[in-house]
Each structure stands twice: as structure tokens, then as C-alpha cells.
Chain A
């Protein structure tokens, strides 16, 4: 790799000439003499008898904290100041990061040169947390932020969270520190943390990655990365940050510029294919609309309502986003099974698993599979899947043949589809379509009655039923401008069944890749986005998920992010409890000792104390359902004052 420029002797007046960002060219203090700042331990430290853990040697400590003498007092503005200019040019609100030496140059520039505003540095305790926070933030805010990762080790920590974002079609700008030049990088730790091709770690599940070797190269890469991430299908991207590039001053000859960002219009489905799809829908006896990641923006919800009302067709929301208001008569998610079986035309809008939607796999010894649809049912797909697919990781799910396959963004295609459907409806179908609407209205009302009755079962049970938990919460927040920032699949979907979900931020969906450990950080990230909008953020938090990286609770306290977390504390990795039971039954064996290796007990974790240890207001554990409502009320008062709070509810398994 090419070495970047002279280290000093930069003409300060010429620095940033051509940089098209107002107010960016402020002075930067001389670089701190890291050799002086570091205080290496005495050479005899390792022989000390008092420590319970080995102290670092002088060599290791110097490598972790010091700077080479050649960098001391380098003149000129460092390259990382330009990087801040580039980041600011795209109006990025935050940088989420666990601090680390491989991006110390950029870190310092962010807080001093950039003033720690837009972006503001949000301190995280794990890279998986910072990236999942960015994931949740985007789904609430609709704009991406930067997540900074530390070299090889930090990026490996963050890999699972990046994969979740990839599966969930969420843009995150991941920057990773690295030291390319083997002759100048610090020995020991920084060398362990460097790689020749660090982007290879995440190339299978990012849309774009680059390894800039000059500052202008960084500028181009960053703007391109942002542009690609924000073009549907949204996906995470990665850029390596060479430490020399950050820390050195710009080359005198390098005229720095920031490329202009122009948003790319989302891909719309082919007009002819859209018309053919419209004909099928308009003439169907029992059309069904199924949406998963259809509503990318608030406008998407309204468009889907228009399509459904044009046809009076039932909508099944698979809830990777809040696609359709559950208070609408055409919301028929609870009747998905019979509706799919009776359908003659099904349109799937950004489905993550079309095969699994129209087929059933029975997880028994025979592995039975059968179609859910009747013979002759026409299938239409509008999806960006074919525009973003990679081969290795199998997030594309099983191949499902369809009758009309439209490669394009569903939300962007909906206006054309709505117009085409209106034109395609024959006059003699209008009465039948109107009658279908009446039938849907009755079915919706009946389903609502059944839901309320079903919520009463186990009402007074201990552990607390997930329906009761959801109902108690709803009765307290229904008049607020609220946002559920967690998924509700593991509580039997009770929030979506009981709460009035009408706005796009009422429900943000799940992780995408089902990588556990997403929930807590994504909730904190989404709550940070909601804070700017004055929304009340609610997180129903799985216990196992929280323990992957509970330090995110500290981040919420430290940065005063208002968020009510209510533990769904079923004291188990419950999905795995059921899987092991299934295996035992299949083999006619008894689990004499009960679940082993899947429970979170002996001892039970006191989540209230855990949260309190990080400065958070917390109550629990609560076993009596009658105590839950008052506890939630007290915690909500804290959240409304601008702080996070946690209530530990001991709950039923699902």
C-alpha cells in the first residue's frame, strides 16, 4: 500500500482549500505528545506481588498508549479533521462507538475540531451495541449514523450486528480503524489489530466497502458509501480508516474536496409488469396483500392503505416494519392462515421469506412440507431482493417461484400500482369489491373481540402473562406519543394485538437476522432518535438478549436517553428450551432434570440491581401481576423526566 505523504511541513493556509463545507477550517491544537502523556509502569511492575491480574509490560503499555516519537508535534491540520468535514457534510447526527486507539485521530477530531456536535460521540461499551444502536436509530429516525469500530477485534465484535442490519435492510455507515503500513504502525497490540484487507470480514454482508489510501479517496468513498447505503435496498457499508491517514497532516499537494451528495431515486418496478400485476389483483375473487418491509418511510403506510382500500383486500402485516394500521378494517393479520389458503391472488411486498409465507414446514421427524395455497393461486412479488443478493449468507431464504416478479422497491412502486389497479378494475367487479369490504369489517371486529377475550387468560397468573404485561403498559401510554422500540414476537405478538399501531414509529420490527443481542442496544438507539421528536420510547426487553451486552444500559443513563425498558423475564433462552424438548420427544427420551443449559436461573439475575448499578432507576423483580401497573407508572414518571428506567417483570414463557 502506498504511504501517505510527508508527516509535517504542511502549508496551513492551503489546507482544506476547496473543501466545500462552511466553518470547517478552524485551527486544531498541536498534537499532544503521546510519549509524555503515557506513563509506562516501572520495569519491575510485572514482578509485583500485589496485583490479581498481570500488569502490562512497559512495552505493551507504550504500544497501547504512546505515540511514536516521529509523530510528536506534527504540524498542520490532521487528515481526520477533513474526515470530520466529510461526515458533517452529510448531516450525520451521531457517532456510536466504543473508544479505541485505531481511530484515535478521528476521535480527537470529532470532539475538538468538530465540537462534538452533529455528529456527537455516543459512548458505547461494545461494538455489537454501537452497531445495533445505529440499526435501531435508523428505523426510528429514517437517517443513518456512523458506527466506529476498532481494528480487527472491534469489527469482529460488530460483525453479528452488521449481519442483522444486512438482513433487515438497514443502512449503517461503519468505519473501522486499521493500520496499513507495516513499517510504521505500532508494534504489538496495534499490529494485532490490523489487517491487509479488513473489509473482507464484512464483505459478504455489506453493500460496499473500501480502503481509502488518501484523504480525497476517503471523501469519495464516504459519500459513495452513504449514497449506496441510502439507495433501496438499504444496507450497511464499511470504510477502513487508516491510522496514518487520520493522524498525519494532509499532503500539501492534495487539494481536498468533498464530493456532492445527490440522493438516488429508489428503483421502481417495470411499468408493464406493474400493469399485469394490477390486472390480476383487480379481477381476483380473493386477493390478499402481504407486507413485510414495504413501508420504508411514513408515506409507505399511507400508500399501502390506498392500495388495500382500492381493492378492499385484506392485508397481512409480517411486521418487519409497521406497514399497515392495525386499527384499519382491512388489517387481517390474525387471519393469515385461512386468508392465504383461500386466496386466488397474493401480492407479496418486500417479503423476507416468500416461500415460508405460502408453504409450511413442519419441524417433526419427517420434516413435512406442504403448500398453504390452493392450486392455481397467482403469486406476485415486488421486492428489491434480487438487487442486493450475495451468495454466501442465506438471507435470501428458499427460492419461491412466482407468476409475476417485479424487481423494484415496493414503496416506490406502489403509486404506479395503485393507479394501474384503479384503471384495471372492471365495472362489473365494483359491487363485489364493496361487499368484500363489508365482510372484512365484520371479520376485523370479530377478531378484536376474540383478542380481548384471549388476553384475559392467565390474567392473574404468576409468572405474569405477556398479555397482561402488554395491557398494563397500553393503559398507561395510550394517550402519549409513543414508540415501541422492541419486537413483540417473543411475547406472542401482544403489543401488536392490543395496542393501536397507526404510525410508522409505533413498531420498528425485529433484528432481521435473528442475532440475539440486538434488542437492548437497538432500543437505546431508537430511543435516542425518538428523543429528538419528543416521543415516549417503550422497550419490552428479553432477558437473554439483554445479557449479551448489558453495558448499553449505562450508555442510556450516561447520555440521558429516555427509555422505559420492561423486562420480559422468562428466565430462560426459551426458544432453545423448546428446541431441546423437541429433540428429546423425537427420541422418546425424558428430560429428567428438566431443561439443562437453557434456563437463566440458579441464581436468577436481578435486572433491577443490574440497571441500578449503572445509575438507572429500576424496580423489580415483580412476580405479582397486581404490582406491575403501579411499578410501570412510577417508572414512566422517570422516563418522562428525561431519564431511562427499567421494570423487571417475571413473565410467562411466551
Chain B
């Protein structure tokens, strides 16, 4: 697949998914709860950590996740180190719930407030 076709496809997929998420409005608790289960079940946690904090194997996803359309395009069509999760193995609705979970993750404490980080 050429890079041009890949980008167009990604944009199309992302556009469809934006519609799904937009219908949620604010991330609702039910979606977020299901998204948390999915985040662990489908394997996102393996590289990104159970609360999306990131690590040596994958970047931080939360809090303040990237725009949904960016995330969705990447998840579906990445040709990088992360293996793609195509719709056959992760539905649009499930991906939207995962995004709701990422949105629900609270901000961390200020590092200046943690004595362990201020020796």
C-alpha cells in the first residue's frame, strides 16, 4: 500500500470514528469502564501501562490523550513498531470506549509535591 493510500485510508477511518465519539459527548462512565476492560484485554496495557502512562515499549497515552482522530488513524494503520489493530480484531465501538477510558484517567500529582522526586 502506498503512503498516499495509507494516509487517505487513515483519514477516512478516523473520520468515521470521530462521528462515533462525538455521539458520546463527554466520555461517559460506562464507556470508560468498558474501555478499561478492553485496554487490558486487547493488550494496550502491555506497552503503554495499565493507566496509559507509557514506558520503554510505548509512549504515554493519558492523561490528556491525543485527539481521537489521530489516535484512531494510528491504531488502524500504523506501520511503525506498534502492531496495527484493524477493525477485524478491535471494533470502532470498542476503540471509542478505550478512548473514553483514556479520557477518564486523572492528572497525576505535581512532581514538586512528591518528596520521593525531590531528594
Contact = CB atoms under 8 A, between A and B. Distances in A.
Nearest to A368: B79
B83 A652 contact: no
A465 B46 contact: no
A456 B117 contact: yes
Contacts of A461: 49-51, 53
B84 interface: yes
Contact of B47 (A457, A474, A584, A654): A654
Most buried by B among A463, A490, A653: A653
Contacts of B53: 457-458, 461, 465, 467, 652
B25 interface: no
A454 B54 contact: yes
Nearest to B111: A452
Interface in A427-462: 452-461
A366 B97 CA distance: 30
B5 interface: no
B49 A629 contact: no
A202 interface: no
Most buried by A among B43, B54, B110, B114: B43
Contacts of A471: 114, 116-117
Nearest to A457: B53
Interface in B25-83: 41-43, 45-47, 49-57, 60, 63, 79-81, 83
A371 to B, nearest CB: 16
A369 interface: no
19 contacts: A364-B81, A454-B60, A457-B51, A457-B60, A457-B108, A461-B49, A467-B53, A468-B116, A471-B114, A471-B116, A478-B119, A489-B56, A581-B43, A584-B89, A585-B89, A588-B88, A652-B49, A653-B50, A653-B55
Contacts of A375: none
B79 A591 contact: no
Contacts of B19: none
Contacts of B42: 590
Interface of A: 362-364, 366, 368, 452-461, 463, 465-468, 471-472, 474-475, 478, 489-490, 492-493, 498, 574, 577-578, 581-582, 584-586, 588-591, 594, 629, 652-654
Contact of B86 (A362, A363, A588, A629): A588
Chain B interface size, as a band, is: 35 or more
Interface of B: 41-43, 45-47, 49-57, 60, 63, 79-81, 83-86, 88-89, 108-111, 114-117, 119
Contacts of A366: 79
Most buried by A among B42, B109, B111, B115: B111
Given A456-B114, A475-B116, A591-B43, A654 B50 contact: no
A627 to B, nearest CB: 14
Contacts of B51: 457-458, 461
Given A471-B116, A478-B119, A581-B83, A458 B56 contact: no
Given A461-B50, A589-B89, A654 B57 contact: yes
A457 B56 CA distance: 14
A132 B49 CA distance: 31
Given A588-B89, A589-B89, A654-B55, 16 more contacts: A362-B81, A368-B79, A456-B114, A457-B49, A459-B109, A461-B49, A474-B119, A475-B115, A475-B116, A577-B43, A577-B46, A578-B46, A581-B43, A582-B83, A590-B42, A653-B47
A487 to B, nearest CB: 12
A366 to B, nearest CB: 7
Contacts of B119: 474-475, 478
Nearest to B40: A594
Contacts of A465: 49, 53
A606 to B, nearest CB: 22
A465 B89 CA distance: 28
Contact of A654 (B56, B63, B79): B56
Contact of B56 (A364, A493, A581, A584): A493
Contact of A458 (B50, B80, B88, B110): B50
A17 B56 CA distance: 61
Nearest to A456: B108
A591 B114 CA distance: 39
A472 to B, nearest CB: 6
Contacts of B117: 452, 455-456, 471, 498
Contacts of A574: 46
B111 A456 contact: yes
Contacts of A577: 43, 46
Contacts of A457: 49, 51-54, 60, 63, 108
